[in-house]
């Protein structure tokens, strides 16, 4: 959703409250869509002189699968972000958000902020044992019982040298 922040830039008001729900259900992350519910965004746009600052809090539930055992994983997260808003800039900067014609594109900004916070590896628990590479049993449920020493057929000639 786009928010008109012109009143803050012109000094008509020094404070604007933002409440929104952003639909990120089409966002793909590691071959799945982790956002089944909208992301709740609350925040403020504050102006002080020529500086306009957006402070926001984003709350979401992440749905995915464990990178080791493939079990479904779901967790809630809350992140905070702060951005300096400008109407134009002479230089490229990651610190500044340009609001074209005083319209703040909150969807894009929230997506970028959340994207930076997503885990590179999603685990069901920190000590997840994963799946047995031979039989595929979930090792979190106990040992699989297979020997687990199935040799790669491409290395059979080298194994023969050891015998």
**Residue 148 pLDDT:** 57
**Residue 150 pLDDT:** 63
Token duo for residue 135: 């039989």
Mean pLDDT by 10 residues, the chain (163 residues): 86 89 91 93 88 94 93 94 86 80 90 90 92 88 77 76 75
Structural domain boundaries in the chain: 2-128, 132-163
Q: What are phi and psi of 94, to 5 degrees?
A: -75, -15
Token duo for residue 42: 């609350």
């Amino acid at each position: 959703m786009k928010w008109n922040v012109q009143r803050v830039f012109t000094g008509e008001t020094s404070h604007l409250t933002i409440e929104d729900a952003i639909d990120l259900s089409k966002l793909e992350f590691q071959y799945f869509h982790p956002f089944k519910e909208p992301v709740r965004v609350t925040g403020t746009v504050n102006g002080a002189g020529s500086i306009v600052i957006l402070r926001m809090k984003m709350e979401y539930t992440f749905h995915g699968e464990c990178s080791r055992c493939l079990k479904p994983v779901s967790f809630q997260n809350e992140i905070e972000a702060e951005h300096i808003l400008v109407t134009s800039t002479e230089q490229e900067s990651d610190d500044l958000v340009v609001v074209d014609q005083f319209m703040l594109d909150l969807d894009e900004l929230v997506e970028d902020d959340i994207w930076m916070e997503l885990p590179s590896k999603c685990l069901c628990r920190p000590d997840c044992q994963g799946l047995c590479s031979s039989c595929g049993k979930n090792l979190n449920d106990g040992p699989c019982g297979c020997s687990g020493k199935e040799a790669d057929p491409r290395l059979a000639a080298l194994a023969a040298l050891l015998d």
